[in-house]
Structure 1
Amino acid sequence: MVLSLSSSFLHSALPNASPAAAAAVTPTHRRLIITSSSSSHHSATAASPVKKKHWKVGEYPGLIESSIPQMSSDKSKRTPIKNIKKKVDKKNNAKAWANTVTEALSDAIEKKQWQRALQVFEMLKGQSFYQPKEGTYMKLLVLLGRSGQPGQACDLFDEMVEQGMEPTSELYTALIAACCRSNLISKAFTFLEQMKSLPNCQPDVYTFSILIKACIDAGAFNLVESLYDQMAERLITPNTVTQNIVLSGYGKAGKYEEMEKILSRMLDSTTCKPDVWTMNTIISLYGNEGKIEMMERWYEKFRNFGIEPETRTFNILIGAYGKKRMYDKMSSVMEYMRRLSFPWTTSTYNNVIEAFSDAGDVKHMECTFDQMRAEGMRADTKTFCCLIRGYANAGLFHKVISSVQLAGRLEIPENTSFFNAVIYACSKAQDLMEIERVFKRMKDKLCRPDSMTYSMMIDAYRKEGMSDKVYALEQEKQQMVPVKVPPETESPIEEDRIIAI
């Protein structure tokens, strides 16, 4: 049985207006529909010709079998060139180890497995063909930063310098980003001062943008002004990305007047014009707060400014409508994407799965997940976080276990959000022993708990009257170093846009 996808979740025409405006007039009686149908490939398989094996030219007698009978002739046969295959095998065997190690490193980095990546990197350094490369260190530093391992990133950077590699502004910027992701702002500023003392490692607009973002997230707006002054001294002009970061920070802090001032400044500027990322920032701010009317109003304003939406823009709208359980409007946006040939991405499906997960609607959640896999979309950590929470909300704890097992088979990265979802499910099931086991596994994986982890566990133990456990967790929580958990949804400000790798 093969799932065949409908054009959208909803079978109705959307007016040519924008999705936000069109969604407003969508009949409320429409329901979200996910269809599946069976199809057989037997006839196609039977009609396709049988594939024949072709040898390489000069390796074996170059005869090609055909479905049409041919006259046998001595002239059609050639004597094979001796030892060609042996030489090729010898050459491939000589390169096999190098290919295996380097490919394993790339695979570990791609799958965000930082421990395995460091282990393979140690093996790679022990080979005779190894030569330090800036690109390898850059990828590892970014991976360690995103995995919440600033200490490992600093050790790797020191090791790189000891090996004689000259640090660059890009490598320093990646190291600063790793510190900022774990809220180690003072350490990041220490590296900034080191950059200033090195002629070939001067900070640029990307370096300052990362530091500004860290200060914004920490609510240190006074440091933001200091960084702006340092940029002015060095004749570094803030770009649109920098302004979008500050715009987002003011919005999240509820400083809407300052946010509108920055936006007005961008509209009047000739070098920092608002772009689609500015649009995404503004509508996501209002969407996350559930202010749907303001979100739609600003969407229309940006369209009038001549800014065209992208897939991320529509995903933000879908996520906002899904959180408010406005399934009609959510479906309208998805249909609008299909009509304009915008692809549905993993984030698109994640937003829909999350909407049904929060409502405990397991039937539609599973249908969406099946349709996602049928379309070839790769599930990520957020997908399984939503599935686990959805099953927990519906009281289907046996399916929580199967989801965790499936995530393991698919090699889904286990980050703080993933463990929090499992602890949430255990708390719903009032299974304190399983909470203990998951919490231990979380620490064994060197995945640091955050405030949400401790809050869920404290509430679970408090309900059972286990005051000693509550006290121990509260003490541990106070000693916790704040960690910025990577966003589970598509962020309107991406670090990939700040660091050029």
Structure 2
Amino acid sequence: MNSMKLLSSSKSLAQNGVFSRFYYTNRFNKATLYSRISPLGSPDKSVEAELDDWLKHGNNIRVAELQRIIHDLRKRKRFTQALQVSEWMNKKGLCAFSPTEHAVQLDLIGKVRGFLSAESYFNKLKDQDKTEKTYGALLNCYVRQRQIDKSLSHLQKMKELGFASSTLTYNDIMCLYTNIGQHEKVPDVLREMKENNVSPDNFSYRICINSLGVRSDLEGIEEILTEMEDQPHIKMDWNTYAVVASFYIKAGLTEKAIDALKKSEQKLDNKDGTGYNHLISLYTSLGNKAEVLRLWGLEKEACKRYINKDFIIMLQSLVKLDEFEEAEKILKEWESSGNYYDFRIPNIIIVGYVKKGLHEKAETMLENLKEKGKTTIPNSWGIVAASYLDKGQAKKAFKCMKAALSLFTENKGWKPNLRVVTSILDWLGDEGSVQEVEEFVESLKRTVPVDRKMYHTLLKANVRHGERVDKVLDLMKADKINEDEETKSILAMKSS
């Protein structure tokens, strides 16, 4: 569910980022079924053929192994392939599906084919398989696709059958109201949950805290937080205090925010990089450089190995705080860390330089990366070009835009800024050589449709250098761009 992205705990985040590999090969380093399926990374690639081939070659397939494969593919968000394995297992009759297996398959059908298909699958189940698990799985499908009426009527049916006694069921409904923006209804669900003797968990309370925070009900947040702290079955975690701190920050209550952040840090597992990153971001919002650097030091000491995401969070924080000298130090740490190259990391500083008007430093960084054979992207060169243009340095803007165009790749989403291109064409028409204009227009035509401005620039350059323009006019006519008054004015320059 969308709201879960905002409210998920560090544990779930970590689980999504660290994938189980223990059954990739066995202790004799022989290939396993998983080692055949795992490399099929594209969701378009069917795993059914691999499963059939595995059986064809006389290999055994254990149900437990297939279940582990489904579990791992789900964690890695390869839902289509997980569904294929589940459906293949069912079709082959390798085991009698229990309500648990049906619930997993129903959930996958909902994710891959939508709630109508999940509903159809549920309706075809035998009565003994329509348990709290399968009812709950269908409710989750409705909630995920924001089907309000279906979710609430299905919940009512679950209540009538005595299947609405789990924390997960109420959490789903709270997430539904969060997803559709009806935050005022979330506390009522929590209240009903407790009245029905269903114990809220950390996630239940956190959804409620989030809904109260969105409505700026800080008093309500404090009441929920106190209730959580008084519950013997609740183990307070760093994420809850961090969520509370974020709402204090938005309200401008710095002292309360810092108090919540200190409590969050006390609950932090000292090897939880995600938690450190989150706290670093929140202290950045407070403008507290000292705490940002202190937590980075603790993270490096505790986690030993820090990944690119850690560097991204830290650099974003330092750039936001205008601490470019510290950011440059962190960048050097990354360069010597042995982590794989990721342009997003130096690009944080490059974009920061541009926003501060330090376009020369931004260009130098791009040039250095280029000289080292490292990948850069056209958008970064393009924003540096725009920055130069804003300072009236058209020649340097032209140079950067040339670099941007040289990196253009179809279907990558980047298009040159029209304002920047138009200004560069104006400058080229007045100052550029014929060769410069021809090369620039040629590369520009690969990114945007040819237009009158390009041809007028070509005409101006040729006229200024005393060259014939017949070929340019022929090409212009072939592209169905008729001469206008400006065209005639440019051609008149030749005879004057």
Q: TM-score, normalised by structure 2?
A: 0.51
Select which of 247, 251, 276 maps to 2:143: 251
Whether the aligned pair in 2 keeps the contact of 1:251 and 1:259 (CA below 8 Å) is yes
Change in CA separation of 1:424 and 1:284 when aligned onto 2, cut-off 3 Å: farther
Change in CA separation of 1:235 and 1:250 when aligned onto 2, cut-off 3 Å: closer
Equivalent residue letter for 1:279: Y
Whether the aligned pair in 1 keeps the contact of 2:249 and 2:285 (CA below 8 Å) is yes
- Aligned-pair RMSD on alpha carbons? 5.5
After superposition, where does 1:469-480 map in structure 2 within 5 Å?
475-476=411-412
Whether the aligned pair in 2 keeps the contact of 1:209 and 1:242 (CA below 8 Å) is yes
- For 1:488, the equivalent position in structure 2 comes to none
Whether the aligned pair in 1 keeps the contact of 2:228 and 2:236 (CA below 8 Å) is no
Deviations 1:179-217 (A, max 9, x none): 334443332233124313544445443333334334444
After superposition, where does 1:16-95 map in structure 2 within 5 Å?
none
Whether the aligned pair in 1 keeps the contact of 2:148 and 2:176 (CA below 8 Å) is no
Cα distance, 1:266 vs. partner?
Answer: 0.6
Aligned pair 1:184/2:78, yes or no? yes
| Separation of aligned partners in 2, 1:413 and 1:195 | 39
| Separation of aligned partners in 2, 1:446 and 1:201 | 45
Whether the aligned pair in 2 keeps the contact of 1:318 and 1:352 (CA below 8 Å) is yes
Cα distance, 1:175 vs. partner?
Answer: 1.5
| Separation of aligned partners in 2, 1:351 and 1:215 | 33
- For 2:284, the equivalent position in structure 1 comes to 392
After superposition, where does 1:209-288 map in structure 2 within 5 Å?
209-217=103-111, 220-228=114-122, 232=125, 237-270=129-162, 272-287=163-178
Deviations 1:323-359 (A, max 9, x none): 4443221111122234443444214333324434666
Secondary structure, in 3 states, of the residue corresponding to 1:246?
Answer: helix
- For 2:263, the equivalent position in structure 1 comes to 371
Equivalent residue letter for 2:210: G
Cα distance, 1:281 vs. partner?
Answer: 1.8
Whether the aligned pair in 1 keeps the contact of 2:98 and 2:129 (CA below 8 Å) is no
After superposition, where does 1:331-480 map in structure 2 within 5 Å?
331-346=222-237, 347-356=239-248, 363-374=255-266, 380-396=272-288, 399-411=291-303, 421-422=313-314, 424-425=316-317, 428=320, 444=339, 461=380, 464=384, 465=386, 468=404, 475-476=411-412
- Higher helix fraction (1 or 2): 2
Deviations 1:49-81 (A, max 9, x none): xxxxxxxxxxxxxxxxxxxxxxxxxxxxxxxxx
Select which of 316, 335, 359 maps to 2:207: 316
| Separation of aligned partners in 1, 2:305 and 2:99 | 32
Whether the aligned pair in 1 keeps the contact of 2:254 and 2:286 (CA below 8 Å) is yes
| Separation of aligned partners in 2, 1:297 and 1:258 | 19
Change in CA separation of 1:326 and 1:110 when aligned onto 2, cut-off 3 Å: closer
Whether the aligned pair in 2 keeps the contact of 1:212 and 1:227 (CA below 8 Å) is yes
| Separation of aligned partners in 2, 1:249 and 1:376 | 33
Deviations 1:367-392 (A, max 9, x none): 33433454676674542232132233
Aligned pair 1:301/2:192, yes or no? yes
Unpaired runs of 5+ residues, structure 2, are 1-13, 353-376, 387-399, 415-496
| Separation of aligned partners in 2, 1:436 and 1:216 | 43
| Separation of aligned partners in 2, 1:392 and 1:171 | 45
After superposition, where does 1:201-212 map in structure 2 within 5 Å?
201-212=95-106
Deviations 1:282-304 (A, max 9, x none): 12333465534211222333344
Cα distance, 1:174 vs. partner?
Answer: 2.7
Q: TM-score, normalised by structure 1?
A: 0.51
Deviations 1:248-272 (A, max 9, x none): 34234332111111111112225x3
Aligned residues: 342
Deviations 1:430-481 (A, max 9, x none): 87989999999999569999xxx9xx99999576548739986995579xxx
Aligned pair 1:330/2:221, yes or no? yes
| Separation of aligned partners in 2, 1:447 and 1:189 | 32
Identical pairs, percent = 13
After superposition, where does 1:118-137 map in structure 2 within 5 Å?
125=27
Question: Considering only CA atoms, is the larger Rg found in Structure 1 or Structure 2?
Answer: 2
| Separation of aligned partners in 1, 2:185 and 2:328 | 46
Greater RCO structure (CA 8 Å; 6+ sep):
1
